[in-house]
Structure 1
Amino acid sequence: MKFIVQWNGQPSAEQSVIERFMKTGGKAPEGVTLLGRWHAAGGLHGVAIVEADDTRGLSAMALEWGDLLSLSVSPAMTDEELGAALAAHQAARK
């Protein structure tokens, strides 16, 4: 399943975030596949799309960065997956 991971950090955490990212490369934990990651220019916020079969790896990621960043993790759907869900919903309403 795909997830949207959003993060925000306070300017006071900037140096610590930089040091950790440079040390770890921001590598995704075991069980999580990083599909893409985008960072805001000039700020400690961004978004990543990841894939995981369960929440264990997502929890590990939140624990790894939670002392420096506020993280939000939400299930994600592609246009095709959403379209199929909407079609099933419409069919059930008829």
Structure 2
Amino acid sequence: MQFMVIEHFRNQDAKAVYRRFRDQGRMMPEGVQFVSSWVSADLSRCFQVMECDDLTLLQRWCAAWSDLVEFEIVPVTPGKDTAAALADQL
């Protein structure tokens, strides 16, 4: 399953987040896959697509970063899959 993970950097401190990332990597448990990420122009948020079949693994990853990041997690599907699912109702 795919998730859009919206990270709100606490105190807008992107440097602390990137410092930890540089020193310790993503710190993801096995079973969580990073797909891609984007950072807002004001350096206050990061948007990541992650894949994971066990939501507790994603929760474990969030807990490791919770001192620096506040998380919003949204389960997502590709738009083409949603369009196909709705095709007979359009």
Normalized against structure 1, the TM-score is what? 0.78
Alignment CA distance shift 1:15-1:35 (3 Å): closer
- State the partner residue of 1:54: 54
Moved more, 70-79 or 33-42: 33-42
- State the partner residue of 1:65: 65
**Distance across 2 between alignment mates of 1:65 and 1:27:** 9
Alignment CA distance shift 1:8-1:66 (3 Å): same
Larger C-alpha radius of gyration, 1 or 2?
1
Note the aligned Cα RMSD (angstroms). Answer: 2.1
> Which consecutive residues of structure 1, in runs of 5 or more, have no partner in the other structure?
none
How big is the shift at 1:12?
Answer: 6.3
Alignment CA distance shift 1:79-1:11 (3 Å): same
How big is the shift at 1:38?
Answer: 1.5
Which amino acid in 2 is paired with 1:50?
A: M
Moved more, 68-77 or 9-18: 9-18
Aligned length: 90
Residue aligned with 1:6, SS: strand
**Distance across 1 between alignment mates of 2:26 and 2:10:** 18
